[in-house]
Amino acid sequence: MHPMLNIAVRAARSAGNIISRSFEQQDKVEVELKGTNDFVSNIDKAAEQAIIDTIQKAYPNHCIVSEECGVVDGSDQDYQWIIDPLDGTTNFVKGIPHFAVSIALKVKGKLDQAVIYDPIRGEVFTASRGKGAQLNGSRIRVKQSKDLNGSVLATGFPFKKKHHSDAYFEMFKTMFVKTADMRRAGSAALDLAYVAAGRVDGYFEIGLKPWDTAAGELLVVEAGGLVTDFVGGHNHSQSGNIVAASTKVLKEILKDIRPHLGESLSK
């Protein structure tokens, strides 16, 4: 394992231990609203600090971008860690056991290392640039489905961007009639990890942040898939609109999304 990936896994496990212990003691979880339909808990913050401490102990000069504390500048700008300490906070606070720790590392602007850790299932999804993707050490691959017929797609409702609801549900409806089924599980990181592992055939969502998707993007690419924005470009980390799948399925998803985009979702 790459030494920086090893540190990322160690940091993810440290955060996961805090999260899984707290999940069994819901009375000690303190929740506040940080934005419209956007929850944060004391456990998000504790898990985030555990990750930052682990990274800074090993690489004190690296930069860090994290969901809760924002940007932590370092003297070495070539290395940037992108952290979501608890992706699926709403599931966590409601007692639904589906959430993950997401950590990615960019080197000179390119995704280089990634880990997504599901502490409830004990599943560690990892990827290193050019080295493929693994689940608990075993190689994983994107499912190479030929089209949407018989496929299962993952998605997320635009709960922070409800002004896009009409466009989103038109996209959903167009694809739903072609697929075997759709899944909305509440963790973008795990949705992307599941695409990489071949558990679902594709994934699309509106209005995400870089820490939601960075690790999952590298996992999908290293597992043989593609990740784009809604027009097939590479602006998803800025727009927050993301599609991930095999080449053929992604092409089908983009074709079904296109008629419903409008100007704001075409960027």
Q: pLDDT by residue (tens digit) across 181-207?
A: 999 999 999 999 999 999 999 999 999
User: Does residue 82 sit in the same domain as residue 163?
Assistant: no
147 falls within a domain: no
Q: Write the Ramachandran bin of 62: left for phi over 0, alpha for psi from -120 to 50, otherwise beta.
A: beta
Distance, first Cα to last Cα, the chain: 37
Q: Write the Ramachandran bin of 111: left for phi over 0, alpha for psi from -120 to 50, otherwise beta.
A: beta
pLDDT of residue 264: 62
**CATH number of the domain that 209 lies in?**
3.40.190.80
Name residue, tokens 């303190």: 30
User: Does residue 30 sit in the same domain as residue 63?
Assistant: yes
User: Does residue 135 sit in the same domain as residue 168?
Assistant: no
Reported pTM: 0.94
* Residue range 37-70, pLDDT digits in tens: 566 778 888 999 999 999 999 999 999 999 777 7
Contact 202, 192 (CB under 8 A): no
pLDDT of residue 184: 96
Domain that holds residue 48: 3-139
* Residue range 138-158, pLDDT digits in tens: 999 999 998 999 999 999 998
The conformation of residue 163, written as its DSSP 8-state character, comes to: G
Total structural domains within the chain: 2
